[in-house]
Chains A and B, each alone.
Chain A
Amino acid sequence: MYEPDPAVVRAASEGDMDSFAELVRGYQTPVYRFLRHFLGDATMAEDVAQDTFVRAYQRLGSFRFQSKFSTWVFSIARNAGVDAVRSQGRRLRLVERAGPPTPSVDPAASAEVEAALAALEPRLREPLLLVEVLGLTYRETAAVLGVPEGTVKSRVFHARERLVAWFEEDNVREV
């Protein structure tokens, strides 16, 4: 995973927009991919990805170089995603979260995976995406989520098992 030169981070935190643009370019793909899978909606993912980088810009001054920059950005993306889900829930005053979305009828394999992911509980979906899409280690994922490393290991495994079970239950075609 891309790790920027600390001088670029420092320059960005001092207001150098060229340096900040370099950081956005370096992380926009994994951040968008993560949010796309996490939120299940391309438009919302793009909006929240933008939000992620605006937040990062606002907080650059508080980045202390004591963790990897990538982990720091992904933490912001994860929280922005969580907030998007939460605020949506609050706005709609839902009494209950909607159940798992209806599986897509799109025969494309990616749509199948999206549907299976949407059926996963967020607590399982999140660590799986952090590991699979962002390439974080279990330790880094644990730091992002604020849970023990062992919990990450177990949740990633259970997420995979649930996905397979979902495919089998639904008797879907090959993904």
Chain B
Amino acid sequence: MRCDEARAVLSAALDGEVAPDAAAGARSHLAGCPECQTHIDAWERVRRELLAVDDRPDLVAGVLDRIAHQPSRRTTVRRTLPLVAAAVAGLIVGATLVSARPGRGPDLVGADIPRRVLAAQSRIDSLEAQVEITERGWHPSVPVRRFTGALVYVAPETMILHLADRTEYPAGQWVPNNVDVVVDRSMWWARGPAPCPTEAQPRCTPTEPRVRVVTGREPFAEDLPAPLDLVLPASGFAIGTDALVLERERDFDGRPATGVVTTAAQIGALLDALHVAGNWRPVPPTAGVTLWLDKERLVPVGVDVDEVSGRGAPALEIRLRGAAPLARPQDAAVPTPPAAPVVRDAGFRDGEEAGPTPSWLPAGMQPYRNGAAGPVAAASWSDGRAWVKVRATEAWPGGRLFGGLGEIVRTVPLPGQGIGYVGEGGRKVAVHGAGVDLVVTGSIPSPDLVRVAASLGVRGEPVPSDWVEASTATLATARAALAPLLVLRGSKNYASPSIRVEDDTVTLAYAGAGDRGFVLVQSPGTALAPPFDADVIGVRVRGRVGRWTPDTHTLEWLERGHLIEMRSRTLRLAELVDAAHQLRVAR
């Protein structure tokens, strides 16, 4: 073994990322190599020094003071922007791929898909199906893993997923990745192998599965993907416009299915539901995905996740076979939770005070679960499938909007009731009222959420000037702050942007389908800042030479005396470049 080879193994071993037996060869090399021993000694001394910083300030008082008194400090907002690409995740609009076909209009059939998916949620009140999963490339010693199992869904808030690992592992201490995830109204539990880095497999996975049990959940709580998303990608199509649909249909168990071409970001909720427990190969949000929807029921019957390289068999294939409604959904047997070392109580109690009640709800919506968790009251309604929830509190300390809307929001008029704020790409509508703060969320289209918010009898006021969202601006304000201002025009793939103006810097956040989206930042500038990372790539964008930094997922270029930045962790470079080509000067 050469010195550099041995040291590469020993470096990983120092971090606990290599099994002792796998490092045996490197260690025996080390025993006879003084030069390598010098390196290892230096690494270990560096480690000691790095952990020896002793001038650690107590930050608590300063942080709380900043939150209380200057949350919208101007520099703070600008500096948060690179993360906004991630915060834009969780946004909507049923659109899809634009990258490969710049300028191409939506497929006529595709334009119909999101509307049909959303409409379908009101037709599916139960479902059972056999699940088959094939996963490739998880570990060098285990190139393919196969799972079979069953999925049961009963609207609106019950799901039972059982997966049995059918993989033939090589000899050794491999722990089967058997997984159970059960959600039933106020309770959920999950059982599966404890998380462990792939490179440290199999030695680091305990043989005993990890069990998590949570009770006292709020209705449709966000700590897990909504069960509905596992059987119908509703959140990925909530403000749908158009989708790229494969021309050729495919048969699944004798039933025709339509293929929708997208990326993992659009069906993040579905993939997250599968990955609640156990060890899986990570799926990057930009991975190519073909989602096969049963042509009649719009239920996903197949998901193919591409290899990142775009070559070879799919990295992940999910198949739902024999999908059919339950004969008697009300009789679905929900497995009781296994014994768990800790049962966490999320604190929600049904039946307590429920806060403001809307005077308008979509047809068929009936009260579902009401209650409170501490100072936050929550009330929910469901037509048995689709759902709406209102959370309200009189104890919000301020500084930012209540409800977790993300960094960038946009204002929306509430007819006759002042203004509201829309975030999470339209999936949440927040209202800051006199003495009360509330947020409306649900599986229904965004305009309906706004209508529900406007019917709560709470007049929405602009947030105080020292709240984060106070710099939320209109397009006219942004145009006045920086001209000429580029905006996305002519794309049905993104919703109207959320806009923020900080001095002469304008930030627009565009939400796309599912978790897809990007942030566009424009400020005066005549030179690109020096590259932060050596791995930058020159890119032709809008007829100019720009720069792509893979680590920060940032595309930058100069145009008309402005520095333009586009950031996204959910779009590929080609998709960002394509979106850049659709930018026009705002009028």
Whether B312 is near chain A, meaning CB under 8 Å from some CB there, is no
Of the candidates A7, A20, A87, A163, which one forms a contact with B79 in the assembled complex, judged by CB atoms under 8 Å apart? A87
Nearest chain B CB to A36's CB is how many angstroms away?
5
Instruction: Tell yes or no: B170 within 8 A of A by CB.
Output: no
Query: Closest CB of chain B to A172's CB: distance in Å?
Result: 11
Bound: A122/B535 CA distance, A: 11
- CB of A6 within 8 A of CB of B71, answer no
Once A24-B63, A90-B529, A96-B530 are accepted as A-B contacts, the answer to whether A175 and B42 lie under 8 Å apart by CB is yes
Beta-carbon contact of A94 and B530 below 8 Å: yes
Question: Are B551's CB and A147's CB within 8 A?
Answer: yes
| A81-103 interface with B by 8 A CB criterion | 82-87, 89-90, 93-97
Q: Is B43 among interface residues, defined by CB-CB distance under 8 A?
A: yes
Give CA–CA (A17, B60) in the complex, Å: 10
Interfacial chain A residues near B47, Cβ < 8 Å: 132
Which of A60, A64, A80, A84 has the most C-beta atoms of chain B within 10 angstroms of its own C-beta?
A64
Q: CA A50 – CA B69 in complex, angstroms?
A: 14
Interface size class of B (residues with CB under 8 A): 35 or more
Please report which residues of chain B, range 82-135, place their CB below 8 angstroms from some CB of chain A when the two chains form the complex. 82-83, 86-87, 90
Q: 1/0 per position for A15-56, CB-CB distance to B under 8 A?
A: 111001100110011001100110000100010011101110
What separation, in Å, do the CA atoms of A140 and B468 have in the docked complex? Answer: 29
Taking CB atoms, residues of chain A closer than 8 Å to B407 are 58-59
Contact A61 B405 (CB under 8 A): yes
Interface contact B403-A50, CB-CB below 8 Å: no
| Least Cβ–Cβ distance between A90 and chain B, in angstroms | 5
**A123 and B376 contact, Cβ closer than 8 Å, known pairs A10-B346, A33-B53, A109-B49:** no
Q: Which residues of A contact B38 (CB under 8 A)?
A: 164
In the bound assembly, the distance between CA atoms of A50 and B282 in angstroms comes to: 31
B51 is an interface residue with CB less than 8 A from chain A: yes
Interface residues of A in 130-158 (CB under 8 A from B): 131-133, 137-140, 142-143, 145-147, 149, 153-154, 156-157
Answer yes or no: B396 CB below 8 A from chain A CBs. Answer: yes
CA distance A163 to B403 in the complex (A): 46
Q: Interface extent on A, as a size class?
A: 35 or more
Judged by a CB distance under 8 angstroms, whether B584 is at the interface is: no
User: Would A85 and B532 be within 8 Å (CB), given that A123-B551, A137-B197, A161-B39 are in contact?
Assistant: yes
- Please state if A160 and B46 are interface contacts (CB–CB under 8 Å): yes
Docked Cα-Cα span, A174 to B38, in Å, equals 11
Count of chain A to chain B residue pairs whose CB atoms are closer than 8 Å in the complex: 230
Give complex CA distance A51, B434 in Å: 29
Distance in Å: Cβ of B378 to nearest Cβ of chain A: 11
Chain B hits for A157, CB < 8 A: 7-8, 11-12
Asked whether A28 lies within 8 Å of B75 as measured between CB atoms, the reply is no
* Cβ-closest chain A residue relative to B39: A164
A104 touches B (CB below 8 Å): no
Judge whether B347 is part of the interface by a CB distance below 8 angstroms: yes
Q: Interface 1/0s, chain B 396-415, versus A by CB < 8 A? A: 11011011111100000000
Given contacts A138-B17, A139-B198, A147-B551, contact A163 B42 (CB under 8 A): yes
A140 CB to nearest chain B CB (Å)? 8
Contact B42 A164 (CB under 8 A): yes
Contacts of B57 in A (CB 8 A): 28, 32, 46, 49
| B21 interfacial by beta-carbon distance below 8 Å | no
Which chain B positions have C-beta within 8 A of A29? 56
Contact of A58 among B198, B346, B399 (CB under 8 A): B399
Complex: chain A residue closest to B63, CB-CB: A53
Q: Which residues of chain A have C-beta atoms less than 8 A from B143's C-beta?
A: none
Q: Is the CB of A149 within 8 A of B67?
A: no
Contact residues in B for A87 (Cβ distance below 8 Å): 75, 78-79
Option from B76, B90, B198 in Cβ contact (under 8 Å) with A149: B198
Please, could you name 23 A-B residue pairs with CB atoms under 8 Å apart, sorted by A?
Answer: A7-B344, A7-B346, A11-B374, A14-B374, A14-B393, A15-B395, A33-B51, A49-B57, A57-B400, A58-B80, A58-B407, A62-B406, A87-B78, A110-B53, A123-B534, A138-B15, A138-B199, A143-B282, A149-B197, A153-B17, A157-B12, A175-B42, A175-B49
